[in-house]
Each structure stands twice: as structure tokens, then as C-alpha cells.
Amino acid sequence: MLTLLIAAAAYFMGAVPWGLVIARCFCGIDPRTDGSRNTGATNVSRLCGFGWGVATLACDLLKGALPVWIALQAGLGTAGVSAVALCAVLGHVFSCFLGFKGGKAVATSIGVFLPLAFVPLLIAGLACLLVIWRTRFVSAGSLTLVAALPLLLCAFGLFRWLPLSLAVLALVAWRHRENIARLRAGTEKPFLKKDQHPEA
């Protein structure tokens, strides 16, 4: 029963569309109707500025990390914690506040692994940033992160979180299927053009 309660709370935490809240309250913009029409940090950053994108990212990380931390403190086993983590990610992707639509699962997925596998996540995150720096495609970096994470979990002997990481990989890849098609076609939009710099 405790697992079900925490999992339900995780879904509703994950479902809060912070990108929409921040963009509408502070920028007067609905990210669902502009840019990539996504409520994630990348689109908010494009539409509202780099700082608001970082704020969105922080909120999306927290809504993944907090329920998992609660599950760990409650003493839930591996299966229970994994279920809570997955519910938080699914809440972000299929938000009940957005007609069961949502983001692309990356930031909240990073959040859920913060309390579970910090060092492997850090290495995967550095690989993600390197790919974004080299290609200027956030989608390519995001896919690199979730693809590297299962391998790094194995390398660090954290096999109990491997099923969760594979589920996240499948979900993120599915949510990025259009980005993958654009990357293959060479039509994906870069986060920053060569002559652009993030605005504070």
C-alpha cells in the first residue's frame, strides 16, 4: 500500500508541467504553441531565455529526484523504488494536467537517477554535454545520456537499477523518434547556432 501511495504521488509530482507554468507566468508565452511545441527546458530556453530554461530544468530534475528520495527513505525495495521512479517519468510524459501529453522524459529521468546512481549519471551527463557541445543538438546529447547510462550502471555493479534504465532508454527513444528522424535526415534544429551564446 505504501508503494502504491508513493507511486501515485510520484506520478502527480511528475505531471506538473513546470515549463508551461514558468513560461506563462514569467514570459507570457505558451510553449505548447510556439517553438518545438514542447514544455521541456530546451523549448523554454529557446522561447524565454537561457535562465528560464535552467529554472525549468531544475524543477523537472527535482520532480524526479524527490519522489525517489522519499521512496528510498521509506525503505522500499528495488522494485518499489523503480516503480516510483518510473511513475514520476510517466507523469512527465503523460501529464494529467496536459491531456496526458507532456515532455520528452529526459530531465525527470536524470532526476530519478540522482539519488540512485550519482557517479554513473555524472559520467553519462558529461558525455551528453560533450555531444551537445560538438553537435549543438540537445536531442543527440539526451539520447547519448540514456544510452550510456545502462552501460555505466553495469560498469559500476549497480545491476539492480538496470531494468529501470532500460525502460527509461526505451521511453526517451520513443519520445525522440521525430528528432531521430530529423537527425538522420540532417534537418534537426540546433539548440544554438555557431554565432549564438546563451542569454543570462
Is residue 112 in some structural domain? yes
Let me know how long the chain is: 200
For residues 74 and 84, give the distance between their C-alpha atoms in angstroms, rounded to a whole number. Answer: 12
Domain that holds residue 105: 2-185
Is residue 195 in some structural domain? no
Answer whether residue 199 shows pLDDT above 90: no
Is residue 196 in some structural domain? no
Answer whether residue 146 shows pLDDT above 50: yes
Is residue 86 in some structural domain? yes
pTM of the model: 0.88
Is residue 200 in some structural domain? no
Section 45-53 average pLDDT: 89
Confidence of residue 200 (pLDDT cuts 50, 70, 90): very low
Is residue 198 in some structural domain? no
> Residues 72-111: pLDDT tens digits?
999 999 999 999 999 999 999 999 999 999 888 899 999 9
Is residue 197 in some structural domain? no
For residues 107 and 40, give the distance between their C-alpha atoms in angstroms, rounded to a whole number. Answer: 8
The total number of structural domains that make up the chain: 1
Reference 61, options 102, 124, 106; nearest CA is 106
* Distances from the Cα of 192 to the Cα of 62, 64, 138, angstroms: 25, 27, 9
Is residue 159 in some structural domain? yes
Answer whether residue 193 shows pLDDT above 60: no
